[in-house]
Structure 1
């Protein structure tokens, strides 16, 4: 699966879950230690707000503290929809994947950044679904693509503190269970 298709599916998967959050669910805990549903959605909104800036060539220093603070305001769903739409537009801009991107740890390719964003959206779609009691099944092709991207580098992500310890799953487990195990989640 190509990156742009995977990214679109990942945004859609997360979007489906955000739209199901009921007012009383924003304070619920999630599989992400120390994050409530609101914290999790704020994390993804924050990432989406950065994407257009970084894909346009801005450095972290140039963006500065523009997106610090409460990015959800009084209407978290509306904040998500606006940020996701702007991010998606930036990703599908012609030649967006050909540009270098400046991240906090240095310069990388837009393709690498795109897979990082896609993986985060995908895994957090499951986290959000689990937290609010929604359908946890994700698009099979998307899961396989993200697993293919993450599996070879999971130890690096784990060392950087992005994932918790891997959770063992059976060798014949389905791709979603394998993805969750690799990212430190219990299927």
Structure 2
């Protein structure tokens, strides 16, 4: 699957769930045990506010703390929509994924950053669906692509705090269940 196609699919998966959040669901729990629905959407929205800066070559210091804390304000859906419109434009800009970007761990290939964002959108779409009681089935091709890219990296992430320890799932489980289990979620 082409990277930008995967990005767009993952963005749609999360966006669909954001638009399904009911007025009384923002404080609901999610599989990310320390985050409510609002916290989860805030986290992903913040990442997409950062993306245009990083893809243009900004350093972490240049972005600073402008996206720390609550970025959602009084209209979380509207803020999400604005952040992702700018992020999508930045990812789709000619040559955006050809360079390198600054992230917490140093400079990495922009394409690697893109796959990190795709993975985050995909898994958090599942988390958000679970938090609001919506359909949690994700695009099978997207899930397979993300799983194939993440599975070899997971052993290196253990103990980093990025994800909980993997949850065992049956060998014959569908790819989506294997993906969320791999990232510490109980399917």
- Normalised by the length of structure 1, the TM-score is 0.98
2:149 and 2:2 map into 1 onto residues whose CA distance is 11
1:72 — aligned with what?
Answer: 72
SS in 2 for 1:96: coil
The correspondence of residues 1-187 of structure 1 with structure 2, limited to 5 A, is 1-187=1-187
Q: What's the CA shift for 1:142?
A: 0.4
The whole-number CA distance in structure 2 between the counterparts of 1:28 and 1:122 is 20
Structure 1 residue 33 displacement after superposition = 1.2
> Would you identify which runs of 4 or more consecutive aligned residues in structure 1 move more than 4 Å?
none
Distance 2:61 2:83 in 1: 20
1:166 match: secondary structure: coil
Residue 46 of structure 1: CA displacement? 0.3
In the alignment, the residues of structure 2 paired with residue 139 and residue 16 of structure 1 have an alpha-carbon distance, to the nearest angstrom, of 12
Find the aligned partners of 1:105 and 1:13 in 2 and give their Cα distance.
27
Could you give the per-residue CA deviations for residues 116-139 of structure 1, whole angstroms, max 9, x where no partner exists? Answer: 000000000000000101000000
* In structure 1, C-alpha distance between the alignment counterparts of 2:159 and 2:94, rounded to whole Å: 34
Separation in structure 1 between the aligned mates of residue 66 and residue 172 of structure 2, nearest angstrom: 46
Q: Secondary structure at the match of 1:32?
A: coil
Aligned length: 187
- From the two aligned structures, give the one with the greater helix fraction: 1
Please give the alpha-carbon distance, in whole angstroms, between the structure 2 residues aligned to 1:96 and 1:184: 31
Q: CA RMSD in A?
A: 0.7
TM-score, structure 2 normalization: 0.98
Task: List gaps (5 residues or longer) in structure 1.
Answer: none
Question: Secondary structure of the residue that 1:101 maps to in structure 2?
Answer: strand
SS in 2 for 1:102: strand
1:37-96 alpha-carbon deviations (Å, 9 max, x no partner): 000000000000000000000000111112123200000000100001110100000001
Secondary structure at the counterpart of residue 24 of structure 2: helix
Give 3-state SS (helix, strand or coil) of 1:138's partner: coil
